Chain A
Amino acid sequence: MSIELPDWYVLKEPGEITVDVKNWIEYADTRINRFIKGDPWIINRPTSFSDEEWEIVKVQEIGGHFLLRLSASTNQRISGWLVEVEGDLFEFRFMSSINFDEKINVLKDLYGEENVKTIQELNDFYQINLYRQFNLADVPSRRARNYSGTTKRDLYKRIAIRFNKIPSVVSAKKALLYKGWAVVRISEIRLTVKREFEKQISDVIKKSAVFVDEDSNLADTIKPVTQKITELAKSRRMGGSLSDFGFAGSKEVYTQVDCYPPCILDLVTILRDKGHLAHIENWQLGTFLKEVGMPINEQLKFWYQTSVDNVGLTFDEFVNRIGYQIRHIYGQTGGGIDYRSPKCKTCIDGYYCYFAHKKLEDISEDIKIRFKDKKEEMIDSSIDDISKIIVNNRFQSACARYFQLHTGWTIKSGRINHMVQYSTQAYKRFHTSKDKEKLSGEKNE
């Protein structure tokens, strides 16, 4: 049985499409510009559109995406960027869709038809009434209401997915499990579905490389697109803006180690003790140090002094042979992209998050040692609070509570979104008297 997929879903088989090269590049260009503006768009067929008119819109959409896909298949950095922006766009479109069946069909395509069922299908299969048996009601949750401002998008409705397809949702106990099916609200699977989409789009991008390899004309066609993306990357417009996180860039913060977040302190400690980190942790620490203002030469010295890679090498030899990754972070080699450090959400999923990845008992010990000058009751109540928050998987909130213990200030939003946010706020608290006054509204000592 084939399922009907929406036209906005770029993993859908495009069917027969004819497009001339000039238009093709134009469509890709339009798509890039839209991504850069950061303004997601939806494609829905207006009732007044004829088949021909709608076909043009579809060709623009699919053609633009496919050219970007081909371009990304030849360049790992562009591929990473495309996966990220297409992932954001997919998430927006999936959540915005007002057609519940459309959502179900997309899920069936992503996870396999046999792994997704509607509640009605599940009821029929097991001859039960899940809603009655578990006293469920499809009342919009606060989260679902907040996302769209309305209940039209059915985000509060439940669907069933095989539990092993969405382990993070099962892990957080955000699903009702029945005979291996995770019955879950659409609003609770937003991120996990986005990640599955990103995984699949990443795979199809890799597979697209074969088309470019086999066709030299195609390789020539994608050149201007690749060039444009690379140019844009160099001009720092694609790395995400720090203002997204509600704080400005931060010079000199790197000099104040007491302002570093616990994840970074841990990485520095591990690096000093063992002389090396995992590749992604190198990246996390390197981009953080850059973003809190450490100049490239300082950072090269830092790695030379702390990492085991320096064995038998002079500083110059180290810079030439090993310093590639550091220069890469600063955009001085490779594609020249000015990389940003990962957000907390990204760290939780794939980098190092102190609260998500460290053992609770070790966190408790660390806090006692780091804040030994603070009152014992304050430390105990903080450990108690942080433990409770961690076990409920709210790692960014745990970091905010840790920040409160560290600085005496409360983060208004109740969570830390970025490791640089932690450092800049701590820097303001301890080292900038002017800013301390300005932010007095956030104090809670």
Chain B
Amino acid sequence: MNEELTPEIISEFYRTKFPLDKFMAFIGLSGFKNREFGFVVGEDRFIRNISFENTKELREFMATRSVKHAYVGAVYAQSPSRYSPIQKIKWKFREFIYDIDINDFDLVRTCGCQGYAYCTDCWSLVQDTVLFIDETMRQDFGFTDITWLFSGRRGVHGWIKDTITKNFDQAQRVAILNYLTMVHDQKRTQTIEEIPKEAKPLRDRIYSIIAKSYLLNSSEESLVEIGIAKKKAKDIIQRVKTSSEFDAQTYNLIIPSNQTVRNKLSQEIILKRYPRIDRKVTMDTRRVSRMPYSIHGNTGQLAVVIKDIKTFYPDSAPNVWDALK
């Protein structure tokens, strides 16, 4: 953080710089009055069940209350309020959202970073995750309206806003999550699911996006430990480095045909680099998520849209002080 994030700075940002039009274009005008908002105000007090008549009220609230964190939730049949809390009113729709946090990879980060800390090495896990999920959502599920946002500290949020997703019930959301999940109980036993036989696009994606990063980050010794001959291991790493387009076919060609070795390698690839998702965020249709373009109250960074995840690094994300200059 460059300097202290004071209530005055927050207030000025929301009054003068917060791109309300962009935010409204992002969430859509439909059902604005009945959409739930949540905020962290004052001495870290979290309040939710809040809704606004119009965008002017929203801006005014965020500016006058100097909200440290701002969140947006689902749309209901009536306006959420203290007297009509979301548990008592009918749910209407919610975007389909992914939450990727670097600390979900703590058990497999080899760079030494833990918790909120990150470096270019471990940030590549988040980058691969986004690439993998984005391609899966587009190719396998046919979604087209996908936006990735920086969370403001250590992760990214993926918003899928295709109309069909808004009305997904929990079973449908969980089905997509389960389709994507290969590492179960990811903070403890890290049980790996077998590579699917029928879900070929998913399997091929593991052997391209994830395997490529794994092999690029591998040493000859680590491949030898899996059971690959030293000369072959050297050759594999060389081939990955020089391949302009690495896909499942290339993977199948360069990896030895020995089934035991292949199984062991694919298990390692999945364990070390496969996407890890905060399932609760995606499943829970009543959860609130960080408001796009808002300030992260702990870092002062802004939850901006990520144009290209391959080149995005958290330190380069804009912050409130830059915005006010």
Contact = CB atoms under 8 A, between A and B. Distances in A.
> Chain B interface: which size bin?
20 to 34
Interface stretch (A55-63, A162-170, A318-326): A162-170
B198 A174 contact: yes
B200 interface: yes
**Residue among B139, B140, B164, B196 with max Cβ neighbours from chain A (10 Å):** B140
B191 A391 contact: yes
Contacts of A390: 184, 191
Nearest to B203: A173
B24 interface: no
B189 A170 contact: no
> Chain A interface: which size bin?
20 to 34
Interface stretch (B69-77, B172-180, B208-216, B219-227): B172-180
A136 B204 CA distance: 13
A180 B142 contact: yes
**Residue among A171, A184, A188 with max Cβ neighbours from chain B (10 Å):** A171
Contacts of B191: 360, 387-388, 390-391
Contacts of B52: none
B193 to A, nearest CB: 5
A391 B184 contact: yes
A164 B164 contact: yes
A136 B203 CA distance: 14
B1 interface: no
A173 B189 CA distance: 21
Nearest to A179: B142
Nearest to A388: B191
B142 A173 contact: no
Given A135-B200, A170-B176, A387-B191, A178 B185 contact: no
A360 B188 CA distance: 9
A182 to B, nearest CB: 9
A49 interface: no
Contacts of B184: 360, 387, 390-391
A387 B185 contact: yes
Interface in A315-366: 359-361, 364
B139 A360 contact: no
Interface of B: 139-143, 164, 168, 171-172, 174-176, 178-179, 184-185, 188-189, 191-194, 196, 198-202
Interface of A: 134-136, 163-164, 167-168, 170-181, 184-185, 188, 359-361, 364, 383, 387-388, 390-392
